[in-house]
Structure 1
Amino acid sequence: MTGESYIFIAGASRGVGREIAKCLIQQNQKVTALLRGEASRPELEAMGVKVVMGDALDSAAVEQAILTNEPIQAVISTIGGLPKDGQRADYLGNKHLIDAAVKAKVDKFILISSIGSGESAVALPPQAMETLRSVLIEKEQAEKYLMASGLNYIIIRPGGLKSEPATGNGFITENYKVAGTIHRADVADLTCKCLFSDPANNKIFSAIDRMQMYGDAEVEEFSL
């Protein structure tokens, strides 16, 4: 890891992306964040994050943000939307980020997806699947596109997200049948650990809090 390279985050304006940016800055990593709007810019810059403006749905803007002279060590994307949002970034925005990362020869791409995507659909109750179906279809498309890109990838599918402080009980597992909830700060902590874990490369994980699992199945935790 050279001191010159940096981590590029899409989705750092709020939620998990903001927590990941905070986690990386605390580890003295250089972080650049792609922002669509100015609202969260002052707070991110005060944290020490370099901000570039652009909409992930605009492929030219994404290329301009990523294809710079500064080497990017990894791209982390937490972007997505709710079913009511019309044209969402879940697939198209992530496709643009993946395409630009390939062109920039980025070493690793971490995609924050969701339990319920792909084969993990079996972990959600039918009612939840129905509500989230349109979003989860796009998330699965993004996952498949990333896996076919040739990039080193890590896909993390969190369970239901909470905004309370980290518990330290978050974990990842390759068991796609697991379900539960997890705090956003714990997802961020797991993501930062995955970033520097070669054994995690090219794997898909579910992420939940071991004290907030649904059911009592024995689940093997992935060691980071």
Structure 2
Amino acid sequence: MNTKSYIFVAGASRGVGREVVKCLRNKEMNVKALLRTPDTRPELEAMGVEVVMGDALEIAAVEQAILGPETISAVISTIGGLPKEGERADYLGNKNLIDAAVKAGVGKFILVSSIGSGESVVALPPQALETLASVLVEKEKAEQHLINSGLNYTIIRPGGLKSEPATGNGVLTENYRVAGMIHRADVGQLVCDCLFSELANGKILSAIDRNMAYGEPDFEVLDLS
């Protein structure tokens, strides 16, 4: 009987998802990652990650991955991006992950979305909104599906993402009027912090670097300790 408990990560091949995996492995957590293509499989396996192949847009593959023999204690999704045959993973892929997590009785689901989704639409300048409009609609649908799912959730909306090393200045706020930039590595750290803090449960949080904020200079930071 396999009694090990895993954190399931969708979107681990690159970007924020990869940073989340690094953070979890540094804490010696068991990680299971869903990969659509095998390119990054050797790298992840070298980090001690259990890799399962499958496309988040296919519910059967997602259920097989999440409802497998291992216990999944939490699901973290950072997926989104390029459309496949007209369907964006931002909504459908996340919907499949959320539905499978409900079936599996997963304890917590963290969705990495984006500033500009939902009520945080007011934080973005018109030009950015115009560029991101179609993506943000999908992200908001995914957020709503998670909120209505009955799962214990945290939604994290990062600002503009940069790929430089972590600054350690990433912060979370419930103030949806705040915007700014943040490094992907800092988002990864904040996701880990939320996973291990009950104070993040049921919250929708914007994530920015405190030194790269704009819009509202004075905002309250959520302390997860």
- Shorter-normalised TM-score: what interval? over 0.9
Give, in whole Å, the separation in 2 of the partners of 1:197 and 1:160.
Answer: 24
Give, in whole Å, the separation in 2 of the partners of 1:112 and 1:202.
Answer: 14
Which residue matches 1:128?
Answer: 128
Residue identity in the other structure for 2:171: F
Matching of residue 14 in structure 1 with residue 14 in structure 2 = yes
Deviation at 1:78, TM superposition (A): 0.2
Which residue matches 1:145?
Answer: 145
Deviation at 1:219, TM superposition (A): 0.6
Q: How does 1:1-224 map to 2 (within 5 A)?
A: 4-82=4-82, 86-215=86-215, 217-224=217-224
Matched residue SS, 1:62: helix
Give, in whole Å, the separation in 2 of the partners of 1:82 and 1:41.
Answer: 20
Matched residue SS, 2:24: helix
Deviation at 1:214, TM superposition (A): 1.3
Contact kept? 2:83, 2:89, Cα under 8 Å = no
Contact kept? 1:79, 1:90, Cα under 8 Å = yes
Give, in whole Å, the separation in 1 of the partners of 2:93 and 2:158.
Answer: 19
Deviation at 1:9, TM superposition (A): 0.3
Compute the TM-score of the two structures, normalised by the length of structure 2.
0.96
Deviation at 1:217, TM superposition (A): 2.4
Give, in whole Å, the separation in 2 of the partners of 1:62 and 1:212.
Answer: 36
Matched residue SS, 1:207: strand
Give, in whole Å, the separation in 2 of the partners of 1:28 and 1:61.
Answer: 26
Aligned in 2, Cα 1:96/1:119: closer, same or farther, shift over 3 Å?
A: same
Residue identity in the other structure for 2:68: T
Aligned structure 1 segments of 4 or more residues deviating by more than 2 angstroms: 82-86
Give, in whole Å, the separation in 2 of the partners of 1:93 and 1:19.
Answer: 20
What is the number of equivalent residue pairs in this alignment? Answer: 222
Contact kept? 1:82, 1:135, Cα under 8 Å = no
Contact kept? 2:16, 2:187, Cα under 8 Å = yes
Q: What stretches of structure 2 of length at least 5 have no aligned partner?
A: none
Deviation at 1:62, TM superposition (A): 0.3
Deviation at 1:215, TM superposition (A): 3.9
What is the CA deviation profile of residues 177-221 of structure 1, one whole-angstrom value per residue up to 9, with x for unaligned ones? 000000000000000010010111010000000000114521100
Matched residue SS, 1:165: coil
Give, in whole Å, the separation in 2 of the partners of 1:145 and 1:215.
Answer: 28
Compute the TM-score of the two structures, normalised by the length of structure 1.
0.97
Q: What stretches of structure 1 of length at least 5 have no aligned partner?
A: none
Matched residue SS, 1:131: helix
Aligned in 2, Cα 1:90/1:158: closer, same or farther, shift over 3 Å?
A: same
Deviation at 1:84, TM superposition (A): 9.5
